[in-house]
Structure 1
Amino acid sequence: MCTVSVTQDPREVDIANRWTILGVLCLTRVVMGYQFQSVASASPFLIDDLGVSYAQIGTLIGLYMLPGAVIALPSGVLTARFGDRRTAGYGLALMGAGGAVMSIADNYSLLFVGRLTSGVGGVLFNVVITKMVTDWFAGREIRIGLGIMLTTWPTGIALGLLTQSALAEAYSWTWVMAATSGVSFLAMAALVSVYRPPPGHAAVQHSRPALFALPRRELIGASIAGMTWGVFNVGFALFFSFSPDLLADRGMSAAGAASLVSIGMWVTVFSVPLGGLLAERTGRPNAIAIVSAVASGTTLALMSVVDVPIAFVVAFGLGIGGAGAIMAMSAQALSPENRGPGLGLFYTWYYVAMAIGPAVAGKGRDITESAAAPVLIGASMFVFVIFLVAAFQVHQTRVSRTTPSTSR
């Protein structure tokens, strides 16, 4: 009897596996956006039950990002030491633990500890998941893979806007925090069970940190790009964190206001990939970034004074579509061999901005006693984006003149 052995082409298995892996990674990253939104969604109930101020709410929102200012740079070392899957799993476990602490909090200090714990986990997870997607899609639809991953953040926030205020109204804000804890642990189980590195992948290890070996031109470029991405995201975060409060101040219910703002988040799920495609097709990503900032900032400014919420929510979702062009500034600034340490620097600026911005907006709300103040502060962030993109363009032009043979 003759036995014929049929071996499946490993390339076909690889193609099928990487889309499965991407699906799992995207589902787990949705959890991060969902948890980030929880404080903003529960803010009216936290203020009533625990007597926290708007400035403290803003601090809690930003606290989710604050650890990134410290962890983003050494995250590559942690990943090399423990591996991608374990590091991501640790991050999701910390997110779950922090949510659990917040669910039993009866004072601001315990909320602070729980949020900080979740933030540490969120930063670990966020940095390593970008590496995971890159490892699987490098050289093969990398823009598609990363573009799809980028939409999971607003998807998680939109789900939070749709469900969390309603959950807090029906039961308690503690249920919202408990829900973020539960889904984090579920995501950890899914990721640990399914994820594995791509075939033949070997981690690249460095004997010492390479940040200070970055050429000055790349250090400056990565810093400007990181500041731009950070300030852009502050404006974005102030929209979905404080717009519901503005609409509620005009007479809408908390749940209704949150649901309305979530429409803008769903619009970004489509506008961001389309904006990235437009930037690539036109070959003018910096121009697309400036148009995006102008549209987003103008929309927020008008929303603070004109009561046509649905139109402005949709317009803002469309305007934010230039996010991909701004994210790609890091690739313009960094040569391939310096992307590891350079991206660590890029994310450090991003996390610093995201930690400070919401707290400043919350303080502005307390001082002015106006629900429109944080929204106007959000609009001003996009003005800074315009100047930062212009500064980046000037810097890159000077680099191209002094190093004409350098290719990106």
Structure 2
Amino acid sequence: MNPGKASWSPSTSASLRESPRRWALMALLVSAMIVCYAHRASLAVAAPFVIKDLGLSLTAMGVLLSAFSWSYSFMQLPAGWIVDRFGVRSAYAWGYVIWSLAFILTGFARGILLLVCLRVLLGIGQAVAFPASARAVANWFQDRERGTVTAGYLAGVRLGAALISGVGAYFLTNFSWQVLFLTVGAVSLLWLLPWEWFLRGLEAPGSSAPSKHSVPPRSSSASGVTSVLNRNVLGIFLGFFAYDYAWFVYLNWLPGYLVIERKFTPREMGIYSSIPYLAMLAIIMLSGIVSDFMVRRGLPEVRVRRTMIMIGLSVGCLVVPAGLVESRMAAVWLLTVALCGLGIASPNTWTLTQAVCPRETVGRVSGIQNFGGNLGGILAPWLTGYIAQATQSFALALSLTGAILVGGISAYAMLIRSPREHRGSS
């Protein structure tokens, strides 16, 4: 894990893009995301036991759970720069070590102050995960494969959260929440061995300045790159804010909505809150495959990715009637279809960034994208709860979610352009 300045090697990258070995790299990216989200979700799984063991109030537990998001969100900008400056291999490895140590040390914590500090440290370490994954896809996979690979590691996100529920239940039933953190954290460190071995030959310490063999920026002049990049970055930032706002409404409020508003029993809630996520997992993979197929058929990549996002966010607007219909089962199925709409958009939100940005800026722009998304993630849980409390209903909060998605559609439609489209309009 040499922290020195890293150089991207065009010859080895081009070789890997044509080699079946690149799918081993995809497996590493997917497995890292599984670990990332398993670590992130573990405290939520263990929360009832932590509350009882440490004598915490629900308010204190809420502060503890939210501590991760603050550091994670505001580390996105420097994390993207770190990935571009030091390379995918070192940035991801050091981030992985930081978050794994924070996770393991959580098993030793006996007070809320230390737990908050460790959650903040967990967020700092995990901040590199998405920018590094996006840069890895840009460096070592063919353009027509971006959707499939991105869909794969995004599926790992959902799988990690699902797996830790089962693993956590086993440890909490038979051992303790401390043993859960210590064991899962220690085993997770094994991922570093194949990661370091596989990427050692792809990035070498040295100057990061482009060589004469480097892939040139995707526009004809520096000013053209700057102009289209700034416009695209704004569109990516605003569009992903809308996407993640809706996603975090689901992630934080779907179970509560079904119980409080729709009067499902806890058992029914467990069933009907899992169905939308399982459906979304399948749609994410299908969306990545379909979008890559269209790119391979010769359709313009930026247009394909942007259209898939806009279709997905449009379907996501079904969250509005879901909050208005009287039938609780109709509400469940509308929410399921709406979440599948987010699944259509999901892999393309990341591959679009790779398609419109020069390779050397992908890490930074991905960090900006994730920062915008996580601002939505900070706002959505609080604002949804506030509106529901004030109006005694979730209907207005879900309608606001739909309105924000419309804003996201507008951002992608009006601001995102490929360098070629930009040159043609200038």
* Shorter-chain TM-score above 0.5: yes
8 Å CA contact retained: 1:63, 1:355: no
Describe the superposition over 1:351-392 as per-residue Cα deviations: whole angstroms up to 9, x where unpaired: 333344335446667x5597x75x974663342122132133
Q: For residue 200 of structure 1, report the CA deviation from its aligned partner.
A: 8.2
Q: Distance in 1 between matches of 2:375 and 2:167?
A: 29
Partner of 2:28: 24
Partner of 1:348: 371
- Deviation of 1:37 after TM superposition, in Å, equals 2.4
Please, which of 124, 134, 139 is the counterpart of residue 138 of structure 2?
134
1:327 to 2:338 alignment:
no
Structure 1 position 273 matched with structure 2 position 293: no
- Corresponding position of 1:230: 241
How many equivalent residue pairs? Answer: 387
Shift of 1:175: 5.0
Aligned equivalents of 1:385, 1:269: Cα separation in 2: 20
How much does 1:116 deviate? Answer: 0.9
Q: 1:70/1:15 Cα in 2 relative to 1: closer, same or farther (>3 Å)?
A: same
Shift in Å at residue 137 of structure 1? Answer: 1.2
Query: 2:213 corresponds to which residue?
Result: none
- Structure 2 distance, partners of 1:124, 1:200, is 17
**In the alignment, structure 1 residue 101 sits paired with structure 2 residue 89:** no
Correspondence for 1:3: none
Shift of 1:222: 0.9
Distance 1:245 1:103, change over 3 A: farther
Tell me which residue corresponds to 1:4. none
- Post-superposition CA distance 1:64-107 (Å, at most 9, x none): 34334443333355346654333222222222222233334444
Which 10-residue stretch deviates more, 25-34 or 172-181? 172-181
Aligned to 1:315: 337
2:107 is the counterpart of 1:124: no
Tell me the alpha carbon deviations over residues 208-228 of structure 1, each in whole angstroms, 9 at most, x when there is no partner. xxxx99735532431231232
Identify which range, 343-352 or 222-231, moves more after superposition.
343-352
Q: Counterpart amino acid of 2:58? A: S
Structure 2: stretches of 5+ with no match in the other structure: 1-13, 211-221
- Structure 2 length-normalised TM: 0.72
Residue 215 of structure 1 aligns with which residue?
Answer: 226
Name the counterpart of 1:196.
Answer: 199
Distance across 2 between alignment mates of 1:386 and 1:295: 10
Which stretch of structure 1 is more off in the superposition, 147-156 or 342-351?
A: 342-351
Q: What is the CA deviation profile of residues 166-191 of structure 1, one whole-angstrom value per residue up to 9, with x for unaligned ones?
A: 75466555455445534532333443
- 1:296 maps to 316
| Contact 1:99 1:177 survives alignment (8 Å) | yes
How far residue 259 of structure 1 moved from its aligned partner, in angstroms, is 5.8
When normalised by structure 1's length, the TM-score is 0.75
Partner of 1:64, secondary structure, is helix
Structure 2 residue aligned with 1:205: 208
**Is the contact between residue 158 and residue 262 of structure 1 (CA under 8 Å) also seen in structure 2?**
no
Task: For 1:230, give the aligned amino acid.
Answer: F
- Which deviates more, 285-294 or 386-395? 285-294
Alpha-carbon distance in structure 2 between the residues aligned to 1:173 and 1:362: 28
Cα separation, 1, equivalents of 2:397 and 2:176 = 30
Secondary structure of the residue aligned to 1:275 is: helix
How many Å apart are 1:229 and its aligned residue?
1.4
Report the identity percentage: 14
Q: C-alpha displacement at 1:284, in angstroms? A: 5.4
Q: Is the 8 A contact 2:38 2:161 kept in 1?
A: yes
Amino acid corresponding to residue 18 of structure 1 in structure 2: R
Aligned to 1:156: 160
| CA shift in 2, pair 1:242/1:48, >3 Å | farther
Could you tell me how far apart the structure 2 residues matched to 1:243 and 1:74 are? 32
**Unaligned stretches of 5+ in structure 1?**
1-9
Bigger Cα displacement from structure 2, 24-33 vs 338-347: 338-347
CA RMSD of aligned residues (A): 4.2
